[in-house]
């Protein structure tokens, strides 16, 4: 199944006999709170207007565990995650569509988690809410009946720090952050700037067009092939905290290239001063 869905396809599916479950994952990476400004409020934005029938899911509270040594957005407690998904109406036998405000990162995190825990049919609205031209509904929504999805962790498609370091030597490890953070020119959030030695810079922002929709699959495949995704080597992705990296895994899926995610990402890697840090444009 395709990993993304267009707004017109979503509109058609919602009018069908078995409409998908809709999850709204409005979220933004922001340093505003550290500067004393109000943080982005995804729920407030959802309540102002959302695709009819969509249920709000909070990335920080529902799609991640507490920040700490494992990173800013470690894996969530699966019992809590499952309860949130069931309350939103998610079942294994019903399609799920996730969207966010347009950047796609938060929706991709939900897409990755649901796939990783065993849901067979999850897609991301390409272009997010900005691509939707239909009516919007204000306020909060909850389904009349809960879902039955029970998430199950698996050992595939997931990297820890040691596996990420090894993959940077034996396969292809992509760094989805902005190039200046990869080089270590700036680091607005984590303890130190730079990248995992051997990782290749591949900003996830280059996977989309000006309107936030994904580039065509053949263009994405060519991009990743040029970075070293030859089809014979294992591919992994990391970012700052496992959110934009999920969007890169999604882009790779659109291109037909399977990839694993290092969820702890740079926020976990850089928290340990004993781990090596490379700086500059060169992977090593």
List, by residue number, the catalytic residues: 239
Separation CA 75–CA 116 (nearest Å): 11
Instruction: Give the number of other CB atoms < 10 A from CB of residue 189.
Output: 16
Separation CA 192–CA 218 (nearest Å): 36
> 55: alpha, beta or left, given left = phi > 0 and alpha = psi -120 to 50?
beta
Could you tell me how many helices (H) and strands (E) the chain has, helices first?
Answer: 10, 10
Token readout for 11 is 């509109």
Separation CA 3–CA 12 (nearest Å): 17
Separation CA 273–CA 280 (nearest Å): 19
Strands (DSSP E) contained in 102-182 are 122-125, 158-159, 172-175
Residue with tokens 């959110």: 243
Separation CA 196–CA 236 (nearest Å): 12
Separation CA 234–CA 260 (nearest Å): 8
Q: What is the DSSP letter of 158?
A: E
């Amino acid at each position: 199944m395709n990993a993304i869905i267009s707004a017109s396809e979503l509109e058609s599916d919602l009018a069908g006999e078995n409409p998908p479950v809709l999850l709204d994952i409005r979220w933004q990476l922001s340093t505003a709170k550290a500067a004393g400004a109000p943080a982005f409020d995804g729920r407030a934005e959802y309540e102002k207007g959302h695709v009819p029938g969509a249920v709000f899911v909070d990335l920080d509270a529902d799609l991640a565990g507490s920040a700490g040594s494992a990173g800013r957005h470690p894996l969530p407690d699966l019992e809590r995650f499952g309860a949130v998904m069931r309350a939103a109406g998610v079942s294994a036998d019903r399609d799920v569509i996730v969207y966010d405000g347009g950047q796609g990162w938060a929706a991709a995190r939900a897409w990755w988690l649901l796939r990783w825990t065993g849901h067979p049919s999850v897609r991301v609205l390409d272009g997010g809410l900005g691509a939707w031209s239909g009516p919007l509904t204000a306020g909060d929504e909850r389904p009349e009946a809960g879902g039955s999805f029970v998430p199950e962790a698996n050992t595939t498609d997931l990297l820890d720090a040691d596996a990420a370091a090894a993959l940077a030597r034996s396969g292809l490890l992509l760094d989805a952050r902005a190039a200046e953070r990869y080089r270590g020119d700036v680091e607005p959030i984590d303890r130190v700037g730079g990248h995992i030695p051997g990782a290749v810079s591949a900003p996830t922002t280059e996977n989309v067009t000006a309107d936030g929709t994904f580039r065509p699959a053949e263009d994405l495949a060519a991009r990743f092939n040029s970075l070293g995704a030859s089809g014979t080597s294992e591919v992994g992705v990391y970012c700052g905290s496992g959110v934009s990296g999920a969007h890169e895994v999604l882009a790779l899926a659109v291109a037909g290239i399977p990839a694993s995610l290092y969820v702890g990402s740079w926020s976990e890697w850089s928290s340990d001063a004993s781990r090596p840090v490379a700086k500059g444009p060169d992977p090593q």
